[in-house]
Amino acid sequence: MTDYALVLHPDIQQSGGQQNDGGPALRAPEARLEEAVGLAAAIGLEVVQSEVVTVKKVRPATLIGGGAVERFIEEIRARDIGVVVVDSALSPVQQRNLEKAWDCKVIDRTGLILEIFGARARTKEGKLQVELAALSYQRSRLVRSWTHLERQRGGAGFMGGPGERQLEIDRRLITERITRLKKELTQVQRTRGLHRGARQRVPYPVVTFVGYTNAGKSTLFNRLTEAKVLARDQLFATLDPTMRRVVLPSGQVVILSDTVGFISDLPTDLVAAFRATLEEVLAADLILHVRDAAHPDSRAQQADVEAVLADLGVTDAAEHLLEVLNKCDLLAPEERARLSLRDAEQPKAVLCSALTGEGCDEVLEMIDRALSAKRVEASLELPLSAGAALSWLYDRAEVMERRDDGMDCFLTLKIAPADLRRYLKKFPESAEINKELAETYGQAQSAREKDLQSG
């Protein structure tokens, strides 16, 4: 049975055109409302009414004004609305008071996003992450979740002791479950670290997709890799990360990684719970930021994604970030011409349409150029009998010059620093011959790798 829903976006007025977080008002209230309606639809709610509610002064008891609360009572009854979505953060008290006034379920933006993630998680890791975030969110709201909080029951030992209130028992059980989940996720993080270490030993660079939800990441991923990842015109259509092997125009092999979409005001608990998954971004050789170029709030979405990246610890995004302006097929001709001119001046940006395939070859070429630019020139000496090492280098590097002298071979090549480290580790006898090079590349780790291991 489909629940009828009312979606409200409180437009909190403050001086200087500021939002309630003190940041610039990048989005129009109507755009925020439209996004909230999309989030509600993503969990199967039928939105029968949506409205922007102007809030001149935040009410501690209900967030919105008393007149607005009274006005919606009749509309909720008349339309048989069972759920009201408030596109803002509600305190437990505000949520409880609104539910009492409207006699229906009320959820805030955080609760709505958690509902979506809970419905979409498929892997064991994803389910653990969502459950942890949901329990952390619910723990502070137990006061409104039960009608029997004043009842007491006796007990002995670990059952809680005589006179322990039901609220205290529930909070304790949730705390214990959170502790167990954190231990399980710690193990997941260790496993991910092992898998990440294994991938680093495989001589393929990793390119990770990031972007605002519904920007077209999964559609572009499918187009470039011929994969069949779920791609819909829907917020948070996919949650679990996917990886695929792709051959670039130069013949270089890379691993493309699709990740969960970002969104404004992403719940802190959710970011923390999904940190093990999102840390794949930290380990990437390149980050491909997929933007919806046709969206009116494209710039604001870009700022939100960059904020999440900064929160994850991506401090060198400018060095590793490439930009894909997706959905160019939806652009007006003049806007498309303007963006095309801008991209011609920026080697790290491409205009494309993942739906039609236009510009997708240019995306692969941009990745190819960016990875080639990271290569360093190195001179290597190795015996001609080292056929496996020679083959490895010819597969992974650009050999610029080769000179054979007796039993030895001298190579001048361009190679990615990470690949050179892999080579020297894979062929220690070559590291012994090329000691100076090994000291420079083989024994040193980049600052990003050190940060990842220490994190």
In tens, the pLDDT along 102-119 reads 999 999 998 888 888 777
Percent of the chain at pLDDT exceeding 70: 76
Q: How confident is the model at residue 152 (pLDDT cuts 50, 70, 90)?
A: very low
**Residue 177: which pLDDT band, with cuts at 50, 70 and 90?**
confident
Note the pLDDT tens digit of each residue in 414-426: 888 878 887 888 8
Q: Would you say 343 and 349 are in contact if contact means Cβ atoms under 8 Å apart? A: yes
Kindly indicate the confidence band of residue 345, based on its pLDDT and cuts at 50, 70 and 90: low
Burial of residue 404 (CB within 10 Å: 0-12, 13-18, 19+) is: exposed
Confidence of residue 15 (pLDDT cuts 50, 70, 90): very low
What integer pLDDT is reported at residue 142 of this predicted model? 64
pLDDT digits (tens, 9 = 90+) for 202-235: 567 889 898 898 898 888 998 998 866 555 545 5
Alpha carbon separation from 402 to 255, 390, 410, 412, 445 (Å, rounded): 29, 11, 6, 6, 28
Comparing 83 with 420, the larger pLDDT belongs to 83
Residue with the larger pLDDT of the pair 278 and 132: 132
Among the listed residues 298, 368, 303, the one whose alpha carbon sits nearest the alpha carbon of residue 331: 298
d(CA 423, CA 269): 40
For residue 305, name the pLDDT band (cuts at 50, 70, 90).
confident
pLDDT of 370 above 80: yes
**314-333 average pLDDT score:** 83
| Mean pLDDT score across all residues of the chain | 79
pLDDT attached to residue 118: 77
| Sheet containing strand 83-86, strands side by side | 46-55, 4-12, 83-86, 105-108
How distant is the alpha carbon of residue 278 from its chain centre?
Answer: 6
pLDDT of residue 279: 65
Residue 257 CA to residue 206 CA, distance in Å, equals 7
Q: What six digits make up the tokens of 348? A: 């790290």
Q: Say how far apart CA 402 and CA 23 lie, in whole Å.
A: 57
Decide if pLDDT at 452 tops 50: no
Residue-wise pLDDT for 115-134, tens only, equals: 887 777 766 777 787 788 88
Q: Look at residue 174 in the predicted model and tell me its pLDDT.
A: 83
| pLDDT of 16 strictly over 70 | no
Listed residue (255, 286, 284) closest to 367, CA to CA: 286
Q: Write the pLDDT tens digit of every residue in 26-72.
A: 678 998 999 899 889 888 899 999 999 999 999 999 999 999 999 99
Among 88-102, 118-132, 365-379, 397-411, which stretch is predicted with the lowest mean pLDDT? Answer: 118-132
Query: How far is the C-alpha of 156 from the C-alpha of 443, rounded, in Å?
Result: 59
pLDDT at 316 over 70: no
Provide the pLDDT for residue 63: 94
| Among 24, 33, 94, 32, CA closest to 63 | 94
* Residue 140 scores a pLDDT above 80: no
Cα torsion angle, 394, 400, 379, 383, sign: positive
Judge contact between 286 and 292, C-beta under 8 A.
no
- Checking if the pLDDT of 455 tops 80, the result is no
Per mean pLDDT, which range of 177-181, 248-252, 342-346, 408-412 is the poorest?
342-346
Give the model's pLDDT for residue 336. Answer: 86
Highest mean pLDDT among 124-128, 297-301, 448-452: 297-301
Q: Taking 90 as the threshold, does the pLDDT of residue 314 lie above it? A: no
In angstroms, rounded to a whole number, what is the distance separating the alpha carbons of residues 398 and 388?
Answer: 16
The label of the residue with tokens 């009274």 reads 70
Average pLDDT over residues 356-377: 90
Cα 431 from Cα 429, distance rounded (Å): 5
- Cα 178 to Cα 77, 134, 182: the distances in Å are 38, 10, 6
Tokens of 87: 């596109």
The answer to whether the CB of 131 falls within 8 A of the CB of 125 is: no
Dist. CA 100–CA 98, nearest whole Å: 5
259 or 237, which is more confident? Answer: 259
Q: What percent of the chain has pLDDT over 90?
A: 29
pLDDT at 273: 61
